[in-house]
Amino acid sequence: MGRRSSRLRAALLDMLQRHPWLTFLAMGVCFLGFGVSSLNLVQVLRANLDLFLDYGWQAAQDGALRQLLELAVSSYLALACWLGFKCCEKLLVDRLTTKVDPD
């Protein structure tokens, strides 16, 4: 399975390097995904933890535990989008800053 994922990653990187417009499009999608998934994340997480501290197990039974799990998933989704954005950024910056030989 490791070899298959390695080939998939290499194919994806090759496609993104050959098509800068696709890389830019993917970068924009990742940027929007990061923004949406991290919107008010800190405030909602703080409110959720305050609810736990104030009401304890009763809050967990009323759905605060599920909300905390959803916040964790949203955090990792935001992280994945940010990593995708940074990968696309690196590919585009490398493409723009690589010196081309005038043959």
| Residue (of 4, 23, 21) closest to 13 by Cα position | 23
Q: Which helix (H) or strand (E) is 87 found in, with range? A: helix 65-97
Report pTM.
Answer: 0.78
Residue 102: pLDDT over 80: no
Residue 1: pLDDT over 70: no
The contacts of residue 15 (CB under 8 Å, 6+ apart) are: 22
Residues 39-94 have pLDDT tens digits of 888 888 888 889 888 988 888 888 888 888 999 999 999 999 999 999 999 999 99
Domain boundaries, the chain: 39-98
